[in-house]
Amino acid sequence: MSEAGTLTRADLAEALHRQVGLSRADSGRIVEQILEKLCHALANGENVKVSGFGTFVLRDKGERVGRNPKTGVEVPIAPRRVLTFRASQMMRERIVNAGQ
């Protein structure tokens, strides 16, 4: 990984290059194509499931009233769409077992 705790596109492309043997340019293009497909699906309102990894889920949140923590004044929070990630059971087990 490039920085502590950060996996970058370049890291993914490099791993693809080393493990599959594709050129660095081809590896970079494949990573970009995968990410572009994922982003396009999410932008179109589709959920994305990557088997054995997890699911990216779009949720629509309604309007609600929030409160400014400094002043205590109530402020309306506009409805919005949020993206959440839910790790698969396999991924959760890997994460838990990696810490042991």
* E-assigned strand segments in 2-100: 48-50, 54-61, 64-67, 74-77, 80-87
* Sole residue written with tokens 């982003």: 39
CATH tag, 1-44? 4.10.520.10
What's the pLDDT tens digit per position in 22-34?
A: 999 999 999 999 9
Burial of 72 (0-12, 13-18, 19+ CB in 10 A): exposed
* CATH classification for the domain delimited by 47-100, as one of 2.40.50.140, 2.30.31.70, 4.10.520.10, 1.25.40.10: 4.10.520.10
Residues 27 and 17: their CA atoms lie apart, in Å, by 6
Beta bridge partner(s), residue 2: none
What's the pLDDT tens digit per position in 28-66?
A: 999 999 999 999 999 999 999 999 999 999 999 999 999
**Structural domain boundaries in the chain:** 1-44, 47-100
